[in-house]
Amino acid sequence: MKKWICAFACMSLISALKAQPRLPENYYWKKLGNGLEVVVIENSKVPLATIEIAVKNGAYTEGAEYSGLSHLFEHMFFKANKDYPDQEKFIKRTEELGAIWNGTTDVERVNYYFTFDRDSLDAGLRFMNAAIRFPIYRKEDMQKENPVVDGEFQRAESDPGFQVWFESQKRLWGDMMTRKNPIGDHNIINTATPEKMMIIKDKYYHPNNSLLVICGDVDHTKAFAMAERIFGSWPNSGYDPHQRYPIPEFKPLTETSYFIKESSIAQTPYMMYSWQGPDYRHDSAATIAADVFSTILGLNSSKWQQALVDKGLATAAQFGYQTNRYVGPIFLFAVPNPNKLKECHEEIMNQISQWTDHAYFTDAQLEDAKAVLKRSKIRNAEKPSTLSMQLTYQWCSTSLDYFTDMNENYMKVTREDILKYIRTYITGKNYVAGMVINGEMNKSFNPGSFFKTR
C-alpha cells in the first residue's frame, strides 16, 4: 500500500511539473482552483503596477449575428458594474487610483488593463474584479456607446489602407470574414442590446478562459495571495467554452482573385496581396520562420526593398504575417508610385517568384534579421507596463511556452526553414490581390489591363 501511495504521489508530481509552463526569469505562474491562470512579472524599474485580464474572445468567436460585439463588450467594460453603478463613479474611482487604463479587441484576444501606483495593487485588483465579473449593461449606456464604437469603424473607413484591407479580408476568408474582423458590422453594432452583451459574457467570460497578469514593482507571493483572495470565488464555467462553442475551420482559398476598388479618398493607390498562412495548432515552426523572413524583407539591404523602394517603384513595400491559433494571414502591402503602377505590380510578382531561390537572401541578412528580432525583444522589455500585453497575446493565440521560447527559436531558424514556409504557404498558392485607387487615376492608368488574374 505504501509503495502504491508513493508511486501515485510521484505521478501527481510529474503531472504537476508538466502542467507548469516555462517562463522567463522573474515570471511566476499559478492556476487557481477555479481555473484562472495568474502570471506575476516582477519588475522594479519604476514603482508602478499593471494588472491585465485577457480573455480568449474576439472576432474569431463571432458569427455574422455577433460581428463586432466583442469590441462593443470591451467598451462597455469601462461603463458600470456592481460596485460602481454608473460611468461617473467608475471614472472617479480610476482617478482616485491614479490609474491609466484601456482595453483592446483583436482577432483572438480581448484584454483590459490598469496601471497605477504599486501601493494600489489590492484596490486595483478589487476594481478589476468588479468590472470583469459584475458588469451592468444599461440600455441608455449602450445607446450612447453603440455610435462611439461604430464611429471607430467609420474613421477606419476614411483610410484607403483600411479599405483595401477590408475588401481583401472579404475575399480571403469568404463567409468566415466576421471571424477575422474585430471592428465588426455597422448594423450589428448599432442594434446591439444588453441581452446580446450577456450572451457574450455567459459564453466566454469565465476564469477558466481568462488570464490575469500582475506586473511591476510587486512581490509574486503577495500578489498570488491577493489574486486568490479576490478572484478565487469567481465560479468556473464547468466546461471549456471553445469545446462547447467550437471555432469553425477556415476554408482554403479555391482560386486567386484580383479586385480594383475606386475611392475618392485615395490620393495615391494602395495595393495589398494576401495569403492564408500557418497557424499555431498545426505548424508552429512555420510561424517562427514567417517572422524571420518578414524581418529579412524589411532590411534596407534586402533585394525586396532595393527593387521596389530604392528604385522608386513604391514609397512603401511591407510584408508580414500575424501569428494566430486559427490560420494566420500573410500580407504584402505596397504604396506604388502612381506613374509606375504596372512596373510596381510586375516587380512585386517578379520578386515573389524569386523567394524560393537559395540566393535570394544572404547568410549575413539572415543573421541581421535575427539580431533585429533580438533587439526588438530587449526594447519591448524596457517598458514594464507593456510586458503583460506581450504575454497575453501569446497566451491567447499560442502558449506561454511559445512566448518563452520565441526568441531562442528565432535564433535557430535556418534557410531551409524559411524556404519550407514560402513553398508551403506562398509559392504557387492561391491569394487575393487588391487595389484601391481614385476614379481619375483609374481612368488615366487603366490598372485593370494588367492587375488581374493571369
Domains of the chain by start residue, with CATH: 23-244 (3.30.830.10), 257-449 (3.30.830.10)
Instruction: Specify burial of residue 372 (Cβ count, 10 A radius: 0-12, 13-18, 19+).
Output: middle
List for the chain the helix, strand, coil content (%; round to 5): 55, 15, 30
107-117: per-residue pLDDT in tens? 999 999 999 99
If pLDDT is split at 50, 70 and 90, which confidence band does 252 have?
A: very high
- What pLDDT is attached to residue 16? 44
Section 257-281 average pLDDT: 96
The DSSP element (H or E) to which 37 belongs, if any, is: strand 37-42
The pLDDT, as a whole number, for residue 17 is 44
pLDDT (average), residues 404-410:
97
pLDDT digits (tens, 9 = 90+) for 355-376: 999 999 999 999 999 999 999 9
C-alpha grid cell, residue 213: 497578469
Q: What mean pLDDT is reported for the chain?
A: 93
Q: Which residues of 218-247 are buried (b: 16+ CB within 10 A; e: fewer)?
A: bebeebbebbbebbeebeebeeebbeeeee
Residue-level pLDDT at 113: 96
Q: Confidence class of residue 141 from pLDDT cuts 50, 70 and 90?
A: confident
pLDDT tens per residue across span 319-360: 999 999 999 999 999 999 999 999 999 999 999 999 999 999
Closest of 68, 64, 152, 53 to residue 110, by C-alpha:
53
Write out pLDDT tens, residues 50-99: 999 999 999 999 999 999 999 998 998 899 999 999 989 999 999 999 99
User: Is a pLDDT exceeding 70 seen at residue 417?
Assistant: yes
What band does 144 get if pLDDT is binned at 50, 70 and 90? confident
Type of residue at 85: P
Cα 229 vs. chain centroid, distance in angstroms? 31
Spatial strand order of the sheet with 48-55 comes to 27-31, 37-42, 210-216, 48-55, 110-117, 100-105
- How confident is the model over 294-301, as a mean pLDDT? 98
Quick one: pLDDT band at residue 10, thresholds 50, 70, 90?
A: very low
User: What pLDDT was estimated at residue 6?
Assistant: 45
| 3-state class (DSSP) for residue 235 | coil
Nearest-5° Cα angle at 35, 32 to 39: 55
The mean pLDDT value for 396-400 works out to 98
Strands 210-216 and 48-55: antiparallel
Mean pLDDT, rounded, for 232-255: 97
**Could you tell me which residues are beta bridge partners of residue 104?**
111
